[in-house]
């Protein structure tokens, strides 16, 4: 019978997660993971067919953390709103820049990740009918652009300024729609 398992797949993913979090995507290598677990590189390749598979697992794990963070932020509010959603989105990007970059650099198809993510918000649009999807898209685009610009340092904003920008974006749409309706 074989010896007890010392290193499990979850340990490997967790170590990889920490590596990416602290040093970014390019620090993720078989040897770096092994060093963090104080083992050889062998367990990495017995738990995963190759490094790409591990990377995929790490992407999923980061995505789970991302959703957790956003949901935690939302549950603190009485009712989820686009503003709370956007703030949580950008907070995550600011607090975990390497994770955020890693997540959105892995260019998956449009089925995955934040499409599903945002789609739950479609029920919350303040506008009705066919304009709902356009409002939804506009908010998504704006929040994502804001996150990217803040993350890259091209825009330096306080939390209050970010909050004000999202509010503005929201209300400009909202008011215009109301004007149109009357």
Partner DNA sequence: GCAGTAATATAACAGTTGTTATAAAAAAGG
Partner DNA sequence: CCTTTTTTATAACAACTGTTATATTACTGC
Sign of the dihedral defined by the CA atoms of residues 150, 111, 81, 178, in that order:
positive
For position 154 contacting its own copies by CB under 8 A, the verdict is yes
Nearer to DNA, 47 or 113 (CB): 47
Q: How far is the CB of 40 from DNA (least distance, A)?
A: 3
Sign of the dihedral defined by the CA atoms of residues 138, 66, 153, 27, in that order:
negative
Q: How far is the CB of 19 from its own copies (least distance, A)?
A: 19
For position 32 contacting DNA by CB under 7 A, the verdict is yes
For position 83 contacting its own copies by CB under 8 A, the verdict is no
Strands (DSSP E) along 6-164, which ranges?
A: none
Binding segment for its own copies among 16-24, 66-74, 78-86, 144-152 (CB under 8 A)?
144-152
Closest CA to 129 of 177, 164, 84, 179: 177
Near DNA by CB under 7 A: residue from 10, 18, 22, 46: 46
DSSP per-residue letters across 155-173: S---HHHHHHHHHHHHHHH
Largest Cα–Cα separation, the chain: 78
Q: Which residues bind its own copies (CB under 8 A)?
A: 104, 107-110, 113-115, 134, 137-138, 140-146, 148-149, 152-156, 165, 168-169, 171-173, 175-176, 179
């Amino acid at each position: 019978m074989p010896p007890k398992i010392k290193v499990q797949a979850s340990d490997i993913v967790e170590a990889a997660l920490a590596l990416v979090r602290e040093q970014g995507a390019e620090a993720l290598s078989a040897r770096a993971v092994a060093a963090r677990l104080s083992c050889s590189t062998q367990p990495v390749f017995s738990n995963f067919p190759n490094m790409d598979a591990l990377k995929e697992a790490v992407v999923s794990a980061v995505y789970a953390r991302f959703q957790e963070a956003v949901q935690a932020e939302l549950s603190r509010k009485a009712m989820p709103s686009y503003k709370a959603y956007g703030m949580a989105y950008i907070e995550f990007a600011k607090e975990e820049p390497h994770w955020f970059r890693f997540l959105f650099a892995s260019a998956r198809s449009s089925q995955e990740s934040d499409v599903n993510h945002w789609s739950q918000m479609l029920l919350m649009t303040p506008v009705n009918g066919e304009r709902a999807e356009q409002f939804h898209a506009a908010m998504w685009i704006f929040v994502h652009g804001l996150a990217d610009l803040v993350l890259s340092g091209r825009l330096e904003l306080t939390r209050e300024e970010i909050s004000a920008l999202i509010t503005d974006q929201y209300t400009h749409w909202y008011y215009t729609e109301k004007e149109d309706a009357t």
